[in-house]
């Protein structure tokens, strides 16, 4: 690394969807002279704003945000590319004398940045991807996941059937190399380019689910159906990984006449609740995370002040930035 190794302090804000990570990251960045690096696999897509809960310019409150609106919905994007771009952003922020904050709910993206994941050198096969995406549309994601289980049982256990993008990538690696994804993966716990301090946002499950359902209603009121319709009209088909994201696949099914509006909304709420539960399970396994109860604070500013005070003991002078 151009910047001296193990010299970069990195503040990580993680947790399930709808817990207020963005608002907290913005408050912290304001207090600590920081900039935010998004760790959300859906925020990279341009034109997909409502269904991804992409923070508006007003919500960013003048704080620079990185790795938002990086590619169009039909362009390939993966964790290896994210890893390189995020690390470049973090180095640049640190070099300019600011504190990098890595904030988001995509656990694999966060781990790829702060841990030493080496990704497969296998290329891509667009025709194979299309074949798998079309199979998922015809027979459902579980059909693709069964193919993965037949050739890479370890990856099939690690990757949820609904995470179609990762399922297809694992199949693609085997298709191109004849080897499993895990055979290429090298994680070295003994090295780290950063000094990460990690906080997770938690809340009682019933309260979180109420937030999730309220957010879905807010998205609908903000024009989610119109956003999905516009994407489909521009040629972004349901087979694209981006269009398999929460909110987009359910509303697209409604627009194709496969279900009623009410059924699509209920399915979206159910899928989002399940997604939040999976996120929480993922992050809970990382013992480096200090958990904060969102409901114990009056708002993001109070929570940011608490974190700020805790950081003073880890990074002397942090609260004075």
Q: Residues within the annotated binding site for substrate? A: 17-22
Show binding-site residues.
Answer: 15-22
Instruction: Please give the Cα distance from 106 to 282 (Å, whole number).
Output: 9
Residues pairing with 71 in the sheet: 45
Distance CA 217, CA 211 (A): 10
Contact 35, 100 (CB under 8 A): yes
Q: How far apart are the first and last CA of the chain?
A: 25
- Residue numbers in the known binding site for ATP are 15-22
Q: Is 8 helix (H, G, I), strand (E, B) or coil?
A: strand
* Rounded-to-integer distance, Cα 185 and Cα 59, Å: 37
CA–CA dist 274, 268 (Å, integer): 10
Q: Token pair of 65, please?
A: 């945000």
CA angle 250, 230, 81 (to 5 degrees): 75
Whole-number Å distance between alpha carbons of 159 and 125: 20
The C-alpha atoms of residue 185 and residue 45 are separated, in whole angstroms, by 26
């Amino acid at each position: 690394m151009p910047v001296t190794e193990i010299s970069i302090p990195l503040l990580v804000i993680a947790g399930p969807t709808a817990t207020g990570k963005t608002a907290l990251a913005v408050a912290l960045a304001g207090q600590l002279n920081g900039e935010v690096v998004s760790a959300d696999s859906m925020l990279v897509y341009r034109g997909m704003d409502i269904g991804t809960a992409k923070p508006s310019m007003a919500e960013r409150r003048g704080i620079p945000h990185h790795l938002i609106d990086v590619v169009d919905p039909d362009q390939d994007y993966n964790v290896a590319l994210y890893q390189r771009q995020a690390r470049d952003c973090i180095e640049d922020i640190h070099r300019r004398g600011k504190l990098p904050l890595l904030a988001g709910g995509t656990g694999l993206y966060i781990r790829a940045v702060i841990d030493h994941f080496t990704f497969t050198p296998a290329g891509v096969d667009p025709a194979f991807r299309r074949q798998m995406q079309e199979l998922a549309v015809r027979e459902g994601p579980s059909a693709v996941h069964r193919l993965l289980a037949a050739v890479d049982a370890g990856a099939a256990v690690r990757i949820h059937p609904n995470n179609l993008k990762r399922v297809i990538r694992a199949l693609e690696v085997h298709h191109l190399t004849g080897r499993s994804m895990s055979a290429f993966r090298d994680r070295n716990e003994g090295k780290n380019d950063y000094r990460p301090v990690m906080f997770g946002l938690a809340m009682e499950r019933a309260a979180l689910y109420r937030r999730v359902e309220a957010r879905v209603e807010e998205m609908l009121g903000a024009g989610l159906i119109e956003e999905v319709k516009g994407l489909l009209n521009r040629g972004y088909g349901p087979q694209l990984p981006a269009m398999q994201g929460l909110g987009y696949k359910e509303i697209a099914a409604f627009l194709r006449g496969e279900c009623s509006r009410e059924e699509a909304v209920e399915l979206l709420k159910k899928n989002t609740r399940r997604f939040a539960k999976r996120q929480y399970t993922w992050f809970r396994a990382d013992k480096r995370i200090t958990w904060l109860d969102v409901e114990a604070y009056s708002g993001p500013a109070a929570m940011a002040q608490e974190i700020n005070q805790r950081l003073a003991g880890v990074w002397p002078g942090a609260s004075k930035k």
